[in-house]
Amino acid sequence: MTGNSRKNARNRPKSSINVDEDHHPINTDKKSKLRREKIKPRSFSKFQLLLGFFAVFVFAFSTYFIYSFVVNSTDYGSRKPRVITPFPAPKLMDLPQFQGEHKESLYWGTYRPHVYLGIRARTPQSLIAGLMWIGVKDGQYVMRHVCQDSDNLNTYGWTHHNGRDYGRQLIVDQGLTLETSFLKLREKGSGYGGDWAVRIDLQSKKSGSDEDSWGTGHFFFYMADEGGHAISMSRDVLDVHESSLLASGSRSDVGGWQLHLESADNPEIHYSGFKTPHIHNLSDLVLVTLAHQIRSFGYMQLPDNPGQSPNILVFQISAMVPFKADFAFVSGTDMKNSRIDERISSLTGENLTKQLVKKKNEYDDKFQRCFDLTEKVDSEAIVVGKATIANLIGGIGYFYGQSKISVPKNTDIKGDGYLLYWPAELYTAVPSRGVFPRGFLWDEGFHQLLIWRWDVRICLDVIGHWLDLLNIDGWIPREMILGAEALSKVPEEFVLQHPTNGNPPTLFLALHDLVFGIKMGKFSAAESSEISSFLEHAYIRLDAWFKWFNASQSGKDPNSYFWHGRDNITDRELNPKTLSSGLDDYPRASHPNEDERHLDLRCWMLLAADCLQTIVKVTEMSNESGKEYGFTVNQLSNFEILNKMHLDEAFGAYFDFGNHTEKVRLRSQLKMNGNHARQEMVREVLEEPKLQFVPHLGYVSLFPLMGKLIPPESWILGKQLDLISNRSLLWTNYGIRSLSKSSSIYMKYNTEHDPPYWRGTIWINMNYMILSSLHHYSEADGPYKLRAKTIYSDLRSNLLRNIIQNYYKTGYIWEQYDQKTGKGKGVRQFTGWSSLVVLIMSESYSSSWGMSNS
């Protein structure tokens, strides 16, 4: 089957140290010097052997797996395949507006969203830093580093983050609370990109006589150079009272650099150095080292061995909980008048505290200016809103590498069945730090609906990076897996990207808003100028992107489209998935073929065409292109044509069209596999399909409503309001269902092991668009104005109440919500498009599709 689902399982083994908590001696005397922790050797005979073999196996296997994916390349000779040929136009990221001050101001950041705290620069071979710590789970010590849902943390995520130079994160791991703060400063004497500081504050959640039950806390702070440059370690690293210097080095981008530690809590420090290009395996490296120490000496501590010319240094910081430590990174230390001591002082201790308080207050003020929630929601909701937008922005990452592309059919390319895209960088938000910490094309448009309101220059930077991924045919991969760290989170079967498959062009949602914002005077003169310049230069890429869709995803009938890539020969799926649509298992025609007409794609094409014609008008470009897109908009927004192609007048609902039968089921059959037989679920078709509307009411049916394409006086609008407010169909107390209860496929498994995904549960991105349309119709003159307003108010209240209650109950924003109970489901800390709850709070909605002509 072509395509790859975002609903994938993470198969990475979890790093853990299986040491019984009872054998961990606790020093309850805070005033005494921290003693070396010795673990009784006789308690670990089996554990030592098993852990050692397991850790070595995990490290060796994962290293080989990632290395084979990342390093492997193919020589295609003089004839480079079109699918891996970049679009022949100047890169948007080379525009002057993305150079100079803008580029340097964003150089350093928390751009490694897949780890609980990770810092890097926006450069392919960066110096990186990060945090690990020893936690406790089920009475055993475990290593925390990579964000994983299976860690079952009480909560984690940024509560404040401005996307540029400040962030505050709260992590609650059983009884241990970690507050991590990030601050960036650019002072006189600093190198390119400036300096930065990280504060780690460990506290015990327990109070009274149990406060010291954690005893000694252990965390690991590391520096690593992706370029392989050696990192030097200070001779006095074991005694922070004599010198605060931990490590130093030199790079062409930032010059000389140093890492310093300041702490008033008398920590004990141990360290280990490594020389390896496989930084994505750092958790395993530390795990193997600790396992060896435990087996050999009974000590859970690093061996104080820097190794030979290491490009990774890991520092183990141990002290009684609570304790606090400040790490200061200073650049340009090889320059004259570098003022190292003064800059370190600014990044540590009381000076750092003052800076963090100031930045926190600035964040709160900016949040109020951007979203103005004071009169719209209560204080509890505002706390959720601040944390949600912070985790979206704090989850922005920088990635570099080559995507793996499936070999197009009907080509004579030989090899391993895949091609390598050109080496590319991507600066993007991510759907989820724990499960999907990489770029997803259709998610990103929804992300940018929030980010442009927060920082329009960051928004343009992100969109520019995505559009620079366009190939010569006008195609952009739907999922970008760039670099070893991103690849380490993706099972092999989901890595390939298929050049015949599209993905909803949701970037046009944000671009449409930007164009509309210019017309309505929402931006400053400088911002409007930058946006207009960007749009003018981006137009050639956007035009090629639209034309790729128009050529590759068009249907047999004029003005019709269908998502290519569905499996038309499967006998395992109840309804062949449409992964390229983003709606995965939402039911379409039972028998895919070229007669299909997909309503949602038609509406996305209208959005794109309308945005392109509006860009031409705003930027005063050649009017010929505008006329071409104006004609397309007129055709796709023509209400009569829309109704003829997709409206079931008897039911009053919009549907897909295709070769379909409802008489399909999964049935257990005995299948032979060699000499063995087993029961398998196989699709059984009980009647011949025929061309007809596909009678599955749900999100796809509501796209004309979401696009505000229905005239406010039309009876069809009234019917749509009937459908979404009907409890027997789509309405719930927690939001609008993705699929009606009346559907024959409602909440059904698609295969024996493939549970329902878009078959009934509540998704925030679609509910946001439904609310946007209801808000529009509640203000438009017509017979349904008051009814639209009532439904809007009720739906908004239901969504906010449920999301906020879930947040306070579970500590997370969720990927989806159960239609029966309202309980969060799927991926936790899904502050991608579920962050649209902030716009629902502020009642900030997108501009209309196809309405620029009216």
Which are the catalytic amino acids?
A: 584, 815
Coil, strand or helix: which one is 369?
helix
Name the nearest CA neighbour of 791 among 769, 768, 761, 771.
771
Tell me the C-alpha distance between 580 and 595, whole Å: 17
Helices (H) and strands (E) in the chain, counts: 19, 30
Tell me the C-alpha distance between 143 and 316, whole Å: 12
- Give residue for tokens 């409602």: 746
Q: What are the structure tokens assigned to 75, written together?
A: 């020589």
Distance of alpha carbon 281 from its chain centroid, rounded?
Answer: 21
Tell me the C-alpha distance between 302 and 21, whole Å: 19
Coil, strand or helix: which one is 743?
coil
- Would you say 591 and 664 are in contact if contact means Cβ atoms under 8 Å apart? no
Name the nearest CA neighbour of 433 among 830, 155, 763.
830
Q: What are the structure tokens assigned to 794, written together?
A: 């009720």
Name the nearest CA neighbour of 554 among 610, 612, 597.
597
CA dihedral 468, 469, 473, 477 (to 10 degrees): -150
The DSSP H or E segment spanning 59 is helix 45-71
**How many residues in the chain?**
854
CA dihedral 42, 48, 49, 52 (to 10 degrees): -170
The DSSP H or E segment spanning 132 is strand 127-137
- Would you say 631 and 616 are in contact if contact means Cβ atoms under 8 Å apart? no
**322 cis-preceded (ω within 30 degrees of 0):** yes
CB atoms within 10 A of CB 569: 7
Tell me the C-alpha distance between 438 and 428, whole Å: 8
Q: What are the structure tokens assigned to 375, written together?
A: 């009169």
Name the nearest CA neighbour of 462 among 511, 496, 527, 533.
511
Tell me the C-alpha distance between 314 and 274, whole Å: 8
Residues 6+ apart with CB under 8 A from 626: 613, 616, 617
State whether the Cα torsion 604-717-803-361 is positive or negative: positive
CB atoms within 10 A of CB 49: 12
CB atoms within 10 A of CB 838: 28
Distance of alpha carbon 774 from its chain centroid, rounded?
Answer: 28
Tell me the C-alpha distance between 404 and 422, whole Å: 10
Q: What are the structure tokens assigned to 688, written together?
A: 């011949």
The helix-helix angle for 282-297 and 45-71 (nearest 10°) equals 160
What stretches of 727-811 show up as alpha helix (H) in DSSP? 764-779, 785-810
What stretches of 395-431 show up as alpha helix (H) in DSSP? none
Tell me the C-alpha distance between 369 and 371, whole Å: 6
Residues 6+ apart with CB under 8 A from 801: none
Tell me the C-alpha distance between 393 and 160, whole Å: 9
- Would you say 442 and 501 are in contact if contact means Cβ atoms under 8 Å apart? no
Name the nearest CA neighbour of 600 among 738, 409, 490, 462.
738
- Would you say 437 and 6 are in contact if contact means Cβ atoms under 8 Å apart? no
